[in-house]
Amino acid sequence: MGHTILLSVTILGSIGLASSVILYYISQKFKVYEDPRIDIIQHILPGANCGGCGFTGCRNFAEALIKAESLEGYNCPVGGENVMAEVAKILGKETFTTESRVAVVRCQGSYENCLRTSEYDGVKECIIVHKLYGGETDCQYGCLKYGDCVKSCLFDAMYMDEKTGLPVILDDKCTGCGACVKACPRNIIELRKKAKKDRKIFVSCVNTDKGALALKICKVACTGCNKCYKICEYDAITINNFLAYIDSFKCTLCRKCVTECPTGAIVEMNFPPRKTKSEAIQVPVKEE
Amino acid sequence: MKALKTFPNGGVHPPENKLTAACRIETLPPPESVIIPVAQHPGAPAIPTVKRGDKVLTGQLIAKAAGYFSANIHSSFSGTVSKIDSALDISGYKQTSIFITISGDEWIPETDRSNDLITEIKNTPEEIIQKIQDAGIVGLGGAAFPTHIKLKVPADKKCSLLIINGAECEPYLTSDHRLMLEKGSEIIIGTRIMMKALGVNRAIIAIENNKPDAISLLEELVKGDDDITVQPLKVKYPQGGEKQLIKAITGREVPSGGLPVDVGVVVQNAGTAFAVYEAVQKNKPLIERVVTVSGKSLKRPGNYMARIGTPVSSLIDAGGGLPEDAVKVIGGGPMMGKAISNLQVPVVKGMSGIVVFANGESGRIPYGQCIRCSKCIRVCPMNLEPYLLMTLAEKNLFERMEDEMVTDCMECGSCSYTCPAYRPLLDYIRLGKTTVLKMIREKNMK
């Protein structure tokens, strides 16, 4: 009895020993050197794997950061400045501050503003509807209201407003990763510079139809009337194809264009209420 | 009667509902104005050659082909160009279109408007192709591929057979059927013209067996000639698909990604053959086509000779007006056609029918999970796996879709039609197909 136990222990023990020697030899022979800093940096990164940095996941980004000569142009939109500063400290490289961005929805084609002219009965996905036809309203540029952007958001920073049918972005949760920008088949969502207190002014329309035509379809369309362009003192506004665009880097948030816009296509957000009541058309302020 | 032929794999049998098979082709009264889109073919949009305020005659060139896959566009009435602007068309998007206010029907002098049948083909093959190109003829079956390109056989390939497609496998549609009955002799001459252009000495007119009158009439017309024969086919959708028709008649299989000419065949629609006859023998550009207006709740369904640019609403008015219970209007047939979102969209070269569906006849049913019954695989005429392709598209695995040959899909809709779980297979496959085609284009650009 004791003999059998001894025998099996000896045999198994010797097999184990032999295998460990072989394994050790192989692991030394075929060793792949991996920079230990990759693990450290990956640990610092948020681990959302959102792709906002332009790489497929946080580990790939960490590898790219180590290989990079300078950190200019590399930014983790989720982690922001703090994470990038920490990464720079570990790598001993200079820090570059990248302006943090926030996504905005450039369409106000709610059920009220932009009337439905047909009924769609197929698969409820923006990308499929977009390939089929112009959508339930006559506006072939505006939001389709099926929420591909909300499905793409990894940070719960978006929801579909049931009243208007349009997506709403929660500024405090939005990391500016740009997943919704890629998901929107109509390029309605744009990443804009994040200003103090999340204040923003933008043209909330992407309709490039001629003015009268655009206004016929939607009450709050940009007609390209040039009024905002003329009043802007900072050259922040450009007009192309009957559509105004405000450069978020040049805009000083003076709010002059907002009151000037005759249709209410220019939207201000997160501003305190105005002191004097202006006679201009009331601009809808979206509240989160 | 000859033995019936059909393609071996796949296919479905939707109810035929050929309500208008006995209705003669009527000419539509002219509308007040026409909207003629400059992109009625798959290639680059034609470039307008007229400007606002110009007077145009019926048949006058108003937009010139831009590039190889493009086709000329002609005015369908005489009148004044009121504007050149964007207008909604059948695609559901706004396209550049030429608006013409109609003042009459004064034709260009070159066109022979008599009803005499001209049997003698005087032109050389080169002249024929040039005339077809000038007349802006595109495939009238639905895809609207420019005809002159199909007739130019590449130097390294040989074409030995012309197939005239009179299958008309789509339910409801009868435009080709009526055209074959009423303009049979013209279609035969059109076929001879295309045979001369291609340099082939054999043509087969393929007709599905649910049109016995057309089969017997055309057989009568080609009696004694051994160059053209009429081949009856079993009724099965999508027999009118180019590749299915070739497989049914010759047994040859067009290679994946290839063209029919790779197996020595060119397929043309029966309506195209008639248009070719008119263009070559009578110098008449393509400005009108037969459109079936059908639907179970429509008062007067019928076949109408409609000028290009006529609004769909005037065709529906001719059919007795839009019924009160109508929920959907489809441009084309019910299987491959497209719902129209606005009734002011114009009739284009590729629109073979308008089908009006009443409440309850059309509509989607909420879909469930795939039950792995493999019905979609059995009905797919291209031998694809629709259930797999849909799942891949849902998960955005477009590289896998390319490996699964999604680009072979011809979007016939047999899979969606047959699915017992009502899964929207074709919607997702179409999404995958366009994405894969875009990926391939981008790869080729690099």
Going by their DSSP bridges, the two strands B94-104 and B78-88 should be labelled as antiparallel
Residues A78 and A203 in one domain: no
The answer to whether the CB atoms of A122 and B434 lie below 8 A apart is no
Residues of chain B found within 8 Å of residue A133, distances taken between Cβ atoms: 91-93, 338-339, 341
* Chain centroid, CA B160 distance in Å: 23
Are A105 and A87 in the same domain?
Answer: no
Tell me if A186 is assigned to some domain. Answer: yes
The answer to whether residue A264 is domain-embedded is yes
Nearest CB to B364; choose among A118, A121, A131: A121
Give me the number of domains chain A comprises. Answer: 2
Q: Evaluate whether residue A13 is within a structural domain.
A: no
Element at A215 (helix H, strand E): helix A211-217
Q: How far is CA B57 from the centre of its chain?
A: 26
What residues of A are in contact with residue B338 (Cβ under 8 Å)?
Answer: 132-133
Which among B383, B205, B185 has a CA at the least distance from the CA of B274?
A: B185
Using CA atoms, how far residue A231 sits from A206, A225, A226, in Å, is 21, 12, 9
Q: What pLDDT score was predicted for residue A34?
A: 84
Q: Would you call B158 an interface residue with chain A, using a CB distance cutoff of 8 Å?
A: no
Q: Are B65 and B135 in contact (CB under 8 A)?
A: no
Q: Mean pLDDT by 10-residue block, N- to C-terminus, for chain B (446 residues)?
A: 84 93 93 94 92 94 91 95 91 90 92 89 93 94 90 91 94 95 95 94 94 94 91 93 94 92 94 95 94 93 95 93 91 91 92 91 89 95 95 93 94 94 94 94 90
> Does A1 map to a domain?
no
What is the domain-level CATH number for residue A193? Answer: 3.30.70.20
pLDDT tier, A1 (very low <50, low <70, confident <90, very high otherwise): low
Residue of A98, A99, A102 lying closest to A73 (CA atoms): A98
Q: How many CB atoms lie within 10 A of CB B332?
A: 22
pLDDT computed for residue B278 by the predictor: 94
C-alpha to C-alpha distances, A107 to A104, A111, A211, A222, A229, nearest whole angstrom: 9, 12, 16, 10, 20
Instruction: Take residue A20 and report the two structure tokens written for it.
Output: 């460990």
Q: Output the domain CATH number for residue A45.
A: 1.10.15
Rounded to whole angstroms, the Cα distance separating B232 from B241 reads 16
Report pLDDT for A288: 43
Domains in chain B: boundaries: 28-111+286-358, 127-282, 375-445
Specify the 3-state DSSP secondary structure of A44. Answer: helix
In DSSP notation, B222-265 reads TTT-SSEEEEEE---BTTTSHHHHHHHHH---PPTT--GGGGTE
The secondary structure of residue B360, as a DSSP letter, is: T
Reduced to 3 states (helix: H, G, I; strand: E, B; else coil), residue B429 is helix
Considering the domain delimited by B127-282, tell me its CATH architecture: 3-Layer(aba) Sandwich (3.40)
A173 in the same domain as A218: yes
B364 CB within 8 Å of a chain A CB: yes
Report A:132-191 residues touching B (Cβ under 8 A): 132-134, 138, 140
Largest CA distance in chain A: 104
Each residue of B83-109: b (16+ CB within 10 Å) or e?
A: ebeebbbbbbebbbbbbbebeeeebbe
Distance from CA of residue B197 to its chain's centroid? Answer: 21
The token pair at B214 is 């057309």
CA B185 to CA A186: how far, in whole Å?
50
Q: Measure in Å the smallest separation between the Cα of A136 and chain B Cα atoms.
A: 8
In a domain, A5, yes or no: no
Closest residue of chain A to B327, computed from CA coordinates: A119
pLDDT band, residue A276 (cuts 50/70/90): low
**A243: β partners:** A240
DSSP A234: S
What the block records as the tokens of B162 is 């012309």
Are residues A225 and A169 both part of a single domain? yes
Q: A116 CB near a chain B CB, below 8 Å?
A: no
Q: Tell me, yes or no, whether A16 lies in a domain.
A: no
Tens digits of residue pLDDT in A98-129: 778 899 999 999 999 998 888 888 899 999 99
Q: How far is A242 from chain B (nearest CA, A)?
A: 14
pLDDT by residue (tens digit) across A25-34?
A: 999 999 888 8
- Over residues A133-192, the pLDDT tens digits come to 888 888 999 999 999 999 999 889 999 999 999 999 999 889 888 899 999 999 999 999
Do the beta carbons of residue B242 and residue B414 sit within 8 Å? no
A157 touches A86 (CB < 8 A): no
State the nearest Cα–Cα gap between B319 and chain A, in angstroms.
22
Q: Which fold has domain B28-111+286-358?
A: Ubiquitin-like (UB roll) (3.10.20)
Tell me: do A117 and A158 sit in the same domain. Answer: yes
DSSP string of B279-333? HHHH---S-EEEEEEE-TT-SS-EEEEEETT-BHHHHHHHTT---TTEEEEEES-
Interface membership of A117 toward B (CB under 8 Å): yes
The pLDDT value recorded for residue A99 is 79
Question: Chain B: nearest CA to A165, how far in angstroms?
Answer: 20
A123/B88 Cβ within 8 A: no
Of A123, A128, A140, the CB nearest to B94: A140
Structural domain contains residue A260: yes
Place of tokens 């409801």: B172
Chain A residues whose CB is inside 8 A of the B341 CB are: 117-118, 133-134
**Cα–Cα–Cα angle for A205, A208, A212, nearest 5°?**
90
Say yes or no: A115 and A258 in one domain: yes
Q: Where would I find the beta strands (DSSP E) of A2-119? A: 101-105
Task: Tell whether A212 lies on the interface with B, counting CB pairs under 8 A.
Answer: no
Query: Which of B88, B328, B431 minimises the CB distance to A127?
Result: B431
Least Cα distance to A50 among A72, A75, A18 occurs for A75
| Partners of B356 in the β-ladder | B329
- For residue A281, tell me if it sits in a domain: no
Cα-to-chain-centroid distance, residue B62: 22
For residues B334 and B289, what is the distance between their CA atoms, to the nearest angstrom?
19
Q: Which residues in chain B have Cβ-Cβ distances shorter than 8 Å to A214?
A: none
> Of all helices (H) and strands (E), which one includes residue B433?
helix B425-445
Radius of gyration (C-alpha) of chain A in whole angstroms: 27
ipTM of the complex in this document: 0.88
Alpha-carbon distance A268 to A203, whole Å? 9
- pLDDT bracket for residue A284 (50, 70, 90): low
In this structure, the answer to whether residues A67 and A186 fall within a common structural domain is no
CA B246 to chain centre: 17
Dihedral angle of Cα B373, B378, B380, B383, to the nearest 10 degrees: 110
User: Closest Cα of chain B to A202: distance in Å?
Assistant: 26
Residues linked to residue B195 through DSSP beta bridges, in sequence order: none
CB contact under 8 A, A134 and B88: yes
Sheet with B161-166, edge to edge strand ranges: B228-233, B203-208, B161-166, B265-269
Residues near A26 by beta carbon (within 8 Å), at least 6 away in sequence: none
Separation in Å, CA A35 to CA A76, A84, A206, B36, B350 = 20, 19, 47, 65, 62
H, E, C per residue of B149-218: HHHCCCCCCCCCEEEEEECCCCCCCCHHHHHHHHCHHHHHHHHHHHHHHHCCCCEEEEEECCCHHHHHHH
pLDDT at A282 over 70: no
Domain span at residue A49 reads: 36-91
**Element at A89 (helix H, strand E):** helix A80-91
- Given a cut of 70, whether residue A280 has pLDDT beyond it is no
Judged by a CB distance cut-off of 8 A, whether residue B86 touches chain A is yes
Count of other CB atoms within 10 angstroms of residue B349 = 25
Average pLDDT over residues A272-283: 62
Q: Are residues A116 and A259 in the same domain?
A: yes
Q: What amino acid occupies position B213?
A: D
Residue-wise pLDDT for A137-147, tens only, equals 889 999 999 99
